[in-house]
Chains A and B, each alone.
Chain A
Amino acid sequence: MSANTITRKLRSFLYAVLLLGPGSALAEYKLNMPESVTVVGKEIFGLHMLVLWIVTIVGIGVFGVIIYSLFKHRKSKGAVASQFHESTAVEVIWTVIPLVILVLIAIPATKTLLKIEDSSNADVTVKATGWQWKWQYEYLDEDISFFSNLDSDSNEAREKGSGVNVRTVDNYLLDVDKPIVVPVNKKVRILTTSNDVIHAWWVPDLGIKRDAIPGYINESWFKATETGTYRGQCAELCGKDHGFMPIVVKVVAENDYQNWVAEQKEASAAASAGSDREWSEDELMTRGEEVYKANCAACHQANGEGVPGTFPALAGGELTTGSAEGHIDIVLNGKSGTSMQAFGPQLNDADLAAVITYERKSWGNDASVVQPSDVKAAR
């Protein structure tokens, strides 16, 4: 540990102990809620600070009285107990004062809440669907759809015994392979839903958190006033890898946003190109390993052994060593009522063929090769 880190640690320790909290120039230690870059987020921050100050002042008052009493009214100092034990006037006063304070808090809180819940007239609408354990984003007006996974550096470093010092990984656990991009100063409406269990879409800097619930489509919105990259995480416990499904939002200028949209459309055309030709087994295996690591290893494990009782082993599995049809079917369509999701909508034919072939030819399995055309036929 360098002298620098030690002093840094010591300082944060001290600040915490001294309760030197809100508002001070300690941004690097992250003691407080971020001020946010959205209008509503700033209001939320203001409310948070208002209530925090109120309770701090009330706390100082009440604790002050108690502490005074603890020193003054002790037997060892010869204090003699007086026997008063009732006063209606006092009781009424200290019932009414809290009530008044509450009303003072409730007024601005109501205003902000009404704003939060008004997601009408949005400029851009993005649907965020939670999957165990990644986010799918669909731009409803643009016909763009993609998945956003934990980035591969974090994903490798987070394994127990990975040997990687996670402090050397940039934005460890807070980075994704593909962020969502939105324009600055525009009202962005986020629709949240889920494909499996409940997740929650949360980006602190944008002042937005909303549950993603199967069977529901929830609305919320933000309007960022500064460009930048904002990071968040799934906030609702959603199973094993709940801690590993971050959210990254890039807020960019309007014309950068338009360029990005155009790029996405070209890229999705290019990606499906490879699906029409015959692939060699080597090509399929190389591609398949990548796809497997990114999409399947979280449950079935890198060694194909799965997790007993929760996720089946693919090494020596019935379907992975049996006929291709059954194997293609479960990967394409998933199995409802289990966490085995449908990968048909997530991956293109080439990727699917590659990952299925990979599973059929790894860990001692030796079944047939599957071509993109086979997957296409099964769709």
Chain B
Amino acid sequence: MTTKTKAEPKSSGVTNGGARIVVDGDDEVLSPTDLSEMLAEGTKDSHDKAENCQFVKDFLRGRIKRELFKRGTAALYFVYAAMEEEIEKNEDHPHIAPIYFPAELHRREALAQDLEYFYGEDWESQISLSAGTKPYVDRIHEVGQRDPVLLVAHSYTRYMGDLSGGQILKKVAQRALKLPSTGEGLNFYQFEGIHSQKGFKQLYRSRMNELELDAETKERIVGESNRAFSFNMMVFTELEEIGKTIKEEVQDAGLGHSHAEIMEGGDINKCPYYAAKMVASGNPTYACQLAMTLLTHPPCQWALAAWVALLAGFTAWYIL
């Protein structure tokens, strides 16, 4: 957790690693070929990487600029608008109907409200589909039109994630950005139609497992889910890059009042805490810069995105 200039705590014999999606590897007893288990198992590595990429890590520490959060919300809006449009179109498809939970899951409206909060009434004219988000959105439309069963993967990757780590992100964002406790700007994270997230995830898993799919299709869904993870990493990487060009003061709530006192009428760079933190956190950017360079070449975008995201995540994970 710490900045790398500081020693790791010595007490507990901790290991580094991501949130464990605990699924025993070698469980022969109860249908390990169920899609829910294949997905959890088959996206474990992607999940570790996603969680450990720099942008996500910074976010989790409450280091998120308002501008970036707004852009992230806009990116999510395009992704969910695409995903929900395709799901609606395929609502009666035998592979979509069992996992069709518009009242419980759909986020487009919530994101629109958040964007209105951040950008004002003409939010639609102020946001645009970014280069890092476009491949994701394009892919969703592509599978929606050509291979709807793969929407299962996209929907799993986002909704199940939102129902898991999303709640942590909500609290972090609320505090870091000093958003009102009444939830404005954070509707995305608030699933009004779901009382127990744990219970709902169980229902969702049971529905995925009720889909009539052959082994090959299940494998393809796992593959597509890993791809969806990579697309998410691309979005994060892009945000991180943009973040470097934004000169907004870090909304670090941890600095709080004491920081405000020091900084009264002062220069932020004189703050020893701030300076130390900048030095410490400015490091593992090489991989990301590389990613951005490649991303500016449209033909390479696609093939390389996954690799770069992987690399960035890995580097970040390794260095920190």
- Do chains A and B stick together as partners? no
